[in-house]
Amino acid sequence: MRKMLTLLAVVYSASAFAQGTPLTAGDKPAARVKPHAAAMPTTPKSVAAGLLGCLSIDDGTKGRLDCYDAVVPPKPKPKAPVAKGVLECRYYKEEDDRLACFNDFAERIPKFS
């Protein structure tokens, strides 16, 4: 019984000590870990939302193409197929063709309020 009380007192005091003082490495406080959700950058919830956000940038500019490329990263192919969906626009090698393709699909996305 006495051993169990001694063990309980040691464990309790160790946990109280650990809570009372912050961890340090030398004279600097230890690094704190951020939650996983806070570490991730904020991105649109869907491809459509990202494409609609790109429509606010002036048409025919490098900025709009960069915005589209951020939503759907380009993967140029020597012979790009005819795009039947917005994700196939990334296969166009020429920037003007890729921008026109993205604009075509982005302008057809219905805007819900």
Q: Taking the domains of the chain in order of start, what are their residue ranges?
A: 47-107
Q: Cβ distance 92 to 100 under 8 Å?
A: no
Task: List helix spans (H) across the chain.
Answer: 2-20, 36-39, 47-54, 62-71, 95-107
- Residues 9-19 have a mean pLDDT of 64
Res. 72: pLDDT tops 70 = yes
- Residues 72-87 have a mean pLDDT of 89
36: left (phi over 0), alpha (psi -120 to 50) or beta: alpha
Distance CA 107, CA 110 (A): 8
